[in-house]
Amino acid sequence: MADKKKKNLPPDAQNYQKFQQQREVKRPLLKNCLKAFFIGGLICLIGQVITTFYIYFFHFTEQTAGNPTTATLIFITMLLTGFGIYDRFGQFAGAGTAVPVTGFGNAVIASAIEYRTEGFILGVGSNMLKLAGPVIVYGVFSAFVVALIKTILIKWGGL
């Protein structure tokens, strides 16, 4: 798609694009991946500590302890987002803070706080899920398709 767009440009602009591509700062892939690995791993490790805590003290099972863990992590995210710590972390860790469920929580909570100035109904209420919306929408839709196919296979395919 990008190539098609380029063909319509005048030659000077094409040259400029080439020049700009050469000069573009390469993203340090390995360093970013290492950061993402360690911060993401650390968040999951904290999650595992919380999961173990729920299993031992509140008698959840391995399978059901995921839910309170998620809620606890999002609660911690609320505090970190509110005090402005999470964004600083996020700039450093990239996907390491975006991919765990805390990133989802941060997206919701940060937009809730940000739009508070526009009022609680039209601001917080309608903009809260702006960033997290795609995740919910395509999560639900893809889960629907997968579960539908699986159900049909089980019921009529004799899987």
Partner 1 sequence: MIFFWAFVVGGLICVIGQIMFDVFKLTPAHTLSILVISGAVLDGIGLYEPLIDFAGAGATVPITSFGNSLVHGAMQEAEQHGIIGVVTGMFEVTSSGISAAIIFGVIGAILFKPKG
Kindly identify the residues of this chain, within the stretch 28-87, that bind partner 1 according to CB under 8 A.
29, 32-33, 35-45, 47-51, 62-63, 66-71, 73-75, 77-78, 81-84
Angle of CA points 147, 67, 105, to nearest 5°: 95
Nearer to partner 1, 13 or 45 (CB): 45
Site for partner 1 contains 27 (CB under 8 A): yes
Nearer to partner 1, 12 or 27 (CB): 27
Residue 112 CB partners (closer than 8 Å, separation 6+): 124, 127, 128
Q: In this structure, are residues 73 and 46 in contact, taking their beta carbons and an 8 Å threshold?
A: yes
Residue 10 C-beta: closest distance to partner 1, Å: 25
**With 0-12 CB in 10 A as exposed, 13-18 as middle and 19+ as buried, what is 141?**
exposed
Residue 155 C-beta: closest distance to partner 1, Å: 7
Measured CA to CA in angstroms, residue 136 lies from 61, 101, 123 at distances of 26, 12, 20
Site for partner 1 contains 105 (CB under 8 A): yes
* Residues contacting partner 1: total by CB under 8 A: 80
Q: Is 159 helix (H, G, I), strand (E, B) or coil?
A: coil
Binding mask 107-136 for partner 1 (x = CB under 8 A): -xx-xxxxxxx--x---x---xx-xx-xxx
